[in-house]
Amino acid sequence: MDMGNITVWYNLVFWAFIAAAAVLGFASAFSGHFHVGHVGGHDVGAHVGGHDAGGHHVHLGHGEHIAHNGDASHPSGFSRAFNVLGIGRAPIMIVMLVMLILFGVIGLMSNMIFQSMRLPPDAFFLFSTCIAAFGSVILTGRIAAVVGRFMPSDESYAVTPLDLVGLSGTAVLETTQDTGAIQVYDQYRTHHQYLARSSKGTIAKGQGVILEEYKSEGDYFIVSEVGLV
């Protein structure tokens, strides 16, 4: 079997995934979207109730937690899928690129092995697809774990808590001068949740707030109610 022959349909399918990875990589490089999925040197995965939930950066301490999208103590199917794929341990764009390339390469290699066994394409293509899907998911998660371990925290897409100062957010718990929590979206539309303290009075849950100051010692924000700044 000639893996370079993209004109046969059972190879063309897998070459299409490799081509998609190349296009996605070039587009991301030129548009600067490799910031997605890794924020401020931390994994973009909510750590809620002891479980990672991809797509958010939740930074709560002192035994407090915020239930988000249901009971946060029980990870959803999406959370489990994100964990298997390694989303949250490496930039999501890199995860997507690795998975697309692996799917294509494993599929082509499976086709080569099955055809060497003199099996017709109609008989082995489905098996090649299943092997490619399973192998790409497992290997992508392993590679993402390695990438996340060695990736430097000072990448150009990194967002620190100090970068959130001045942004507007929402109180997700009643916030006083002693306790509270807020959520905010950064310039990349990444969701963050932090402990917070009110600079004046009590801020009701759901009220808009301005992040005035970040306290690194306690890892929380001083916030004020929108309209009272």
66-116 pLDDT, tens digit each = 544 444 444 445 556 666 666 666 677 888 889 999 999 999 999 999 988
Distance between CA atoms of residues 107 and 132, nearest Å: 5
Distance between CA atoms of residues 197 and 123, nearest Å: 64
Q: Which amino acid is at 64?
A: E
Helices 92-116 & 9-31, crossing angle to 10 degrees?
Answer: 160
Mean pLDDT, consecutive 10-residue stretches, the chain (229 aa), reads: 65 92 82 43 38 48 47 49 64 85 94 89 91 91 77 55 92 94 86 92 94 93 83
Q: Return the pLDDT at 27.
A: 80
The pTM score is: 0.47
Q: Tokens in use for 128?
A: 């090649």
Q: Tokens in use for 59?
A: 């930074």
Q: Tokens in use for 104?
A: 């294509």
What's the DSSP call for residue 90? B
Listed in sequence order, the DSSP H helices in 86-187 are 92-116, 121-150, 161-164
Q: Tokens in use for 190?
A: 């990444």
Listed in sequence order, the DSSP H helices in the chain are 9-31, 77-85, 92-116, 121-150, 161-164
Inter-CA distances, 109 with 79, 81, 131, Å: 30, 25, 10
Q: Return the pLDDT at 173.
A: 93
The domains found in the chain, sorted by start residue, are 9-44+87-150 (no CATH), 161-225 (2.40.50.140)
Closest Cα to residue 157, out of 29, 21, 59?
A: 29
> Quick check: 115 and 153 in contact, CB under 8 A?
no
Q: Return the pLDDT at 77.
A: 54
Q: Return the pLDDT at 95.
A: 84
Q: Return the pLDDT at 177.
A: 93
Q: Return the pLDDT at 62.
A: 46
